[in-house]
Amino acid sequence: MRKEENYKMRSVLRTISWLGVLIPVSFGTIYAQNELPQKTFQHWSRSEAEKILNNSPWAKQQEVRIKFDKETQTAAGSYSGISGAAAEQSKTEVTSQVPADFVFTLRLRSALPVRQAVVRLKELETNIEKMDPKDRIAFEAQVKGLLDCPACANNYVINLSSRSSSNPGADAVYSTFKGGRLADLQRYIYIANERGDRRQLIHFVPPKAPGDEAIFFFPRLDEKGALLLTLESKELLINLANNQADSITNFRIDATKLMLNGKVEF
């Protein structure tokens, strides 16, 4: 009788042990699913779409304090037709005595919910019904391109932007990446999982003006044809820092919350 009781106890403990492994994974799947409004994206409200772009498993915001180097700027724009001495007097040295507080927003652009949110906001901003037929065709083609994202089929795509409440005119992403060269960025920018598997940067689109996003592309598959993130993945690391004191921040994403409809949505 005692042997039978011991066997039953061991069986119960094994069951509890298995549940301990399964529950966090299932919770991550449910969490990601619940982040989305329970309706098709064409019926999302503005606030619902914005939440996905700013506060969801596919978007993360981090605040960092950065002090800019001194730079010379010309007061009231450029001058012409004046003497060199007068022009020199028009210049002023600009420096930030107090580090500016920047909020960096990183979005997993190749994730379908992010693409849907971008498209939905464009739809809400555009009065499609009042467009002439040619403009409407062009708009629908643009929206389809954003939603389909052909580059997303073979690449993980990440967007990064920044803003500062203490210095509204400053944009750390634009200042850092506006003249970025792919070869230079490839030395330190990469994405990785918790096992240390990496994907190197293969393409980069710099911001064209303050307020624009920088866009980074990484291959989905390694040389063996394996994905970086699978259903067993726990974490996604996005390494953007170049080891300088005043550099862009790195990001860590909970990969278990990217599970959607039985797959990693990124």
What pLDDT, on a 0 to 100 scale, did the predictor assign at position 157? 98
Those residues of the chain that have pLDDT short of 70 are 1-35, 67-99, 244-247
Q: Provide the residue type at 190 as one letter.
A: Y
What pLDDT, on a 0 to 100 scale, did the predictor assign at position 98? 59
Q: Which of 206, 264, 204 is nearest to 233 (CA)?
A: 264
Distances (CA, A) of 212 to 109, 185, 205: 14, 18, 10
Give the separation between CA 181 and CA 249, rounded to whole angstroms.
19
What pLDDT, on a 0 to 100 scale, did the predictor assign at position 221? 96
What pLDDT, on a 0 to 100 scale, did the predictor assign at position 83? 43
What pLDDT, on a 0 to 100 scale, did the predictor assign at position 76? 43
Interhelix angle for 112-125 vs 46-54, to 10°? 140
Distances (CA, A) of 16 to 116, 213, 232: 39, 47, 20
